[in-house]
Homo-oligomer: A and B are copies of this chain.
């Protein structure tokens, strides 16, 4: 090999890869989220990472086309998925005759977007999605359940989230009321930037669209409304009595009643008419989830109601509502901000060091400890005893057991507590007890 030119062991730019000690934590987080989904009767789904291009790009905007990893193999045009929703739509449309509705599924999987690499953006990232799909109609209980999933997922992860809820039709109703329907999409997209670019800039841009001073004020006062549902309702009721607007408010009232019925902690959700989910396909309830006290991190999860999941694939009407946690981004942001739990350097509880030719004896002991739930490891490599002790220290292994001639003959082993430095000579059973303490 030494004459071959070496290839630099690089990974692709913008791709995510954790060192093992952090990966343990990341997998635990996935497990906790899975448990919440399963306990709420969501079934797992695991769709392929690759889909036919015509499926994945069916409802894509030109924007997405550029980001998607697309290629042709043989004569098949295919893409790597950029979200878990289009594959869900394909799956439900294909299996609509055998699935029971409402169909509740979760999927935790990697998605791919070839965005320009930037801080906090990854080209391969995990999304944790849960969706409820109805046939023809779907109760607003499902919307409330999705908000509840955020609370339970963050509880499971050990963090406090706040989910901010609105309904897109509040703004569509208000736009209708103001007679600005011709510019509805453009206004919605502008208002979605309210938090980012501020009142004055929004106003300038709205006026560029031809929106009147009076209407600008209405839109801006609407998207500024926040609070618990009573406050929210009172403030919004003063702004419009358009039919679509009032229907959206009534829907939110029903969602709130189910949140109460579910017993959701009222400190964990609030209403904010500034939540819009601009470019999205949502058609009713929308929500975003933030870490309490850290709105500056941006939304760590989002979701909402869509009128029809799979209109590109089937004539069957499939309304749905879903929630999604951007787990890679969440982990990354928490990591950058020192909010992750402390990681253990090692997953080893006990390091068994042979002194001399006692490797097989150590293997036997190792097996005994592992069978009893202790992550034991034999230090079988060719290092000196001193270096093995140093390794145990570096790896933060809490216990070391030493096995030489005396120990092998007597069945009594030196067990060293690496934290306290205490050392005792014990039978393997007593070592087990000491480690389990």
Distance in Å: Cβ of A427 to nearest Cβ of chain B: 18
Is A196 in the interface zone, CB < 8 Å from B?
no
Number of copies: 2
B313 touches A52 (CB 8 A): no
Q: Given A44-B20, A364-B262, are A4 and B311 also a contact pair (CB < 8 Å)?
A: yes
Distance in Å: Cβ of A375 to nearest Cβ of chain B: 5
B16 touches A381 (CB 8 A): no
Mark A314-327 against chain B: 1 for CB-CB distance below 8 A, else 0: 11000000000000
Partner of A78, one of B12, B54, B91, B308: B12
Distance in Å: Cβ of A15 to nearest Cβ of chain B: 4
Distance in Å: Cβ of A143 to nearest Cβ of chain B: 11
A47 to B101, CA, bound (A): 36
Contacting chain B: which of A35-43, A222-230, A413-421?
A35-43
Q: Given A54-B7, A263-B367, are A48 and B315 also a contact pair (CB < 8 Å)?
A: no
B44 touches A141 (CB 8 A): no
B49 touches A6 (CB 8 A): no
Is A102 in the interface zone, CB < 8 Å from B?
yes
Contacting chain B: which of A21-29, A156-164, A292-300?
A21-29
Mark A359-386 against chain B: 1 for CB-CB distance below 8 A, else 0: 1110110110010010111101110000
Give the nearest-CB partner of A114 in chain B. B73
Contacting chain B: which of A132-140, A200-208, A267-275?
A132-140
A51 touches B312 (CB 8 A): no
A95 touches B43 (CB 8 A): no
Is A266 in the interface zone, CB < 8 Å from B?
no
Q: Given A124-B49, A367-B261, are A139 and B311 also a contact pair (CB < 8 Å)?
A: no
- Which residues of chain B have C-beta atoms less than 8 A from A18's C-beta? 46
- Which residues of chain B have C-beta atoms less than 8 A from A38's C-beta? 347, 375
Q: Could you say which of A38, A44, A89 has the most chain B C-beta atoms within 10 Å of its C-beta? A: A44
A21 to B46, CA, bound (A): 12
A226 to B8, CA, bound (A): 43
Is A55 in the interface zone, CB < 8 Å from B?
yes
Q: Given A50-B12, A258-B363, are A44 and B69 also a contact pair (CB < 8 Å)?
A: no
Is A90 in the interface zone, CB < 8 Å from B?
yes
Q: Given A17-B47, A21-B43, are A141 and B12 also a contact pair (CB < 8 Å)?
A: no
Is A334 in the interface zone, CB < 8 Å from B?
no
A315 touches B114 (CB 8 A): no
A51 touches B310 (CB 8 A): no
Give the nearest-CB partner of A142 in chain B. B380
A100 to B1, CA, bound (A): 24
Q: Given A360-B257, A364-B262, are A52 and B10 also a contact pair (CB < 8 Å)?
A: yes
Is A356 in the interface zone, CB < 8 Å from B?
no
Give the nearest-CB partner of A110 in chain B. B49
Is A118 in the interface zone, CB < 8 Å from B?
no
Of all A-B residue pairs in the complex, the 3 with the closest CB atoms, nearest first, are: A71-B71, A20-B43, A1-B311
Contact residues of A with B, CB < 8 Å?
1-2, 4, 6-12, 15-21, 23-24, 26-27, 34, 38-41, 43-52, 54-55, 58, 69-71, 73-74, 76, 78, 80, 89-91, 93-95, 98, 100-102, 105, 110, 112, 114, 124, 134-139, 141-142, 144, 257-258, 260-263, 308, 310-315, 346-348, 359-361, 363-364, 366-367, 370, 373, 375-378, 380-382, 391, 394-395
25 contacts between A and B (CB under 8 A): A6-B315, A7-B313, A9-B55, A9-B90, A10-B90, A12-B52, A17-B46, A17-B48, A23-B45, A23-B46, A24-B43, A41-B348, A49-B124, A50-B124, A69-B73, A100-B346, A102-B381, A137-B381, A137-B382, A139-B359, A139-B380, A139-B381, A258-B363, A260-B360, A262-B363
